[in-house]
Structures are given as structure tokens and as C-alpha cells.
Amino acid sequence: MSRERLHPAVWMTYYLLVLAVAMFYWNPLLQGFALLGGMLYFAAIAGGRAFLSELGFTLPLAVLVAITNPLFSHAGATPLFFMNGNPITLEAVLYGILLAGMILSVLYWCKCLSMVMTTDRLLTLFGGFLPKLALTFSMTLRFFPRLFRQMKAMEAAGKTSGLLADDSFFDRLRGRMKLLPALIGWSLERAMETSASMKARGYGLPGRTNAVCRKMRGEDVVFLAVILLLGGLTLLSGILGDLSFWFYPRISDLPTGGISLMGYVSYGLLCFLPVILEWKEWYQWHLLRKKIPLS
């Protein structure tokens, strides 16, 4: 799979570009690309069931966001009706819908990012140029599940020994306050143990190396170049001002010059790139499977 095969840095660049454009350019067409691309990619890597269950959360969220905006923002030249003396305007409604779309596309892309960028790959990403950070990151990931388990164990122990009541919210709050110093003590103790274990295995000797470096391969470089080119063209078109769009006081026309077109095409391609890759690979497997003779 391309998402596993390509260098994490390539993917990281990709996500940063897609998200940056999605968050800073309020152009309905670009937002549409980002949303559709993000949703399709999520469906492709998470599967239909996960996609539907995610939709159960994101759709109501989108509706709520879309409703909220016109209730609180009354700008816009086309009032639809007045509520408590304030206009509910067409522009604010449309802006709310775009805002909801943007929040959704950021959510979906972040979902994909967290699925593709497993901690392993993040380590590979940072391990190369920020080895200390990578190690700290890895140790943090090791520590937190233990901390939560310890907290649960302490709560359970307190409950059964009758020292922590949990009849009401305030009981629980008081219990947590009581656990806090003990948990801090526990964390410090774990930190001491960990540092002893690190020292025992030679941590702190000069000339530390990193086992998790992964070199850029030819394929990585090609993809990085494509991504940078598409992202760069989009940004260029944006910098030249040909992607601008506004809602207030009256909705502007969608810019349609040559430079704008360049921006649309390049961002569209960028957003659908991973889905296209997934489908292409799925199709290749499909063909390969057909060739494998059934014995």
C-alpha cells in the first residue's frame, strides 16, 4: 500500500499542504475538493462501516455548525427573516454551510492522518533529524497508558477500602484530588526507574545512533516532487489573489481566470491523489489475484 510504502516525510508534507489550503482559502470549490477527497480517502482506508459510523457523528456536527453561524452572525445584505430584531441573512447561512464543510474536511483529513501516521512512522519521521524528540515522544507514549492504569487501580483500591466514595460527582472530585499527589509521586518514581534502566543500558554515552532512520527512495522523491508541485501551484494561484472568495456583505462570484483554474486543477488533483493511489493499487491486486491459478 502506498500509505505504508512511502516515506513518512512525504505524507507529512502532503497533509500539511492539504490542511493549510483547506483552512486558509475560503473558496467553495477548493473546500468541496478537500471535503470530498478527505471523505473518500477515509472511506477507502477505514472501510465502509467505519465511514458510516463516522458519518453519524460528523453529519449532525455539520448541521449544528451550519445552524449556529447565522444565529450569531448577522452580517450580509440579504436578510431572509428577522429573529429578535436581528436579521438572519442568506450570506450567513451559506457561510455557515461552508464553515461546516471546512470543519468536516479538517476532521476527515486529521482522521486519515492519524491512521496513516502511526507512532512508528512518526518516530521514523523525527528519528532522522530530531532523535531526542523522537525518544521523548516514544517514552511519553509508553508512560501515559501506565499512568491511566495506575489511576484506575488506585480508584478501585480506594473504593473497595471505603476511603474513596463515589456516590456523587463531588465525592469523585474529592477522590481525584486525593489521588493527585499520589499519582505525581508514582510518576516521579517511574521516571527514576526509567532513568536507571536507561543508564544501565548506556544512555548518555557519546555518539548515540538511531536505529529508526529510513532513507528516501526514488519513489518517495517522485511523489514528494508531485505533491510539492501541485501544492505550490495552488499556493501560487492563491498568492496571486485568484482564489479569493467572500460572503459578506454579498456573495462574490467564483473567480474563473486562467490562474484560478490552475489553482482549482492542482488542488483538486492534490486532494484526490491518495484515493486514486488506493484505488489503483486495489485494482492491481484484483488483476493479480485473477492471475493466481486456483489449484
What residues from 204 to 263 belong to the interface with another protein (CB under 8 A)? 204-213, 244, 246-250, 252
Q: How many residues bind another protein (CB under 8 A)?
A: 79
Q: Residue 31: which H helix or E strand, with range?
A: helix 28-46
Q: Min. distance of Cβ 193 from another protein in angstroms?
A: 4
Q: Min. distance of Cβ 149 from another protein in angstroms?
A: 8
Specify whether the CB–CB gap between 55 and 13 falls below 8 A: no
Q: Where does 240-294 have alpha helices with state H?
A: 258-291
Closer CB to another protein, residue 51 or residue 248? 248
**250 HSE (CA, 13 A, CB side):** 3
Closer CB to another protein, residue 67 or residue 225? 67
In the region spanning residues 150 to 209, those forming contacts with another protein, defined by CB under 8 A, are 150, 153-154, 156-163, 165-167, 171, 178-179, 181-182, 185-186, 189-190, 193-194, 196-209
Q: Min. distance of Cβ 40 from another protein in angstroms?
A: 21
- Interface region with another protein, contact rule CB under 8 A, candidates 12-20, 27-35, 39-47, 144-152: 144-152
In degrees, rounded to 5, the angle at the alpha carbon of residue 182 between the alpha carbons of residues 178 and 184 is 115
In the region spanning residues 68 to 87, those forming contacts with another protein, defined by CB under 8 A, are 68, 71, 74-75, 77, 79-87
DSSP 254: P
CA dist 179 to 144, 183, 204, 223, 291, Å? 16, 6, 34, 50, 62
**DSSP readout, 204-227?**
T-SS---TT-----HHHHHHHHHH
130 makes contact with another protein (CB under 8 A): no
120 makes contact with another protein (CB under 8 A): yes
Closer CB to another protein, residue 163 or residue 239? 163
In the region spanning residues 27 to 66, those forming contacts with another protein, defined by CB under 8 A, are 57, 60-61, 64
Residue type, 64: L
Closer CB to another protein, residue 112 or residue 227? 112
Residue type, 281: E
Specify whether the CB–CB gap between 60 and 79 falls below 8 A: no
Cα 89 to Cα 61: distance, rounded to the nearest angstrom: 21
Q: Min. distance of Cβ 95 from another protein in angstroms?
A: 12
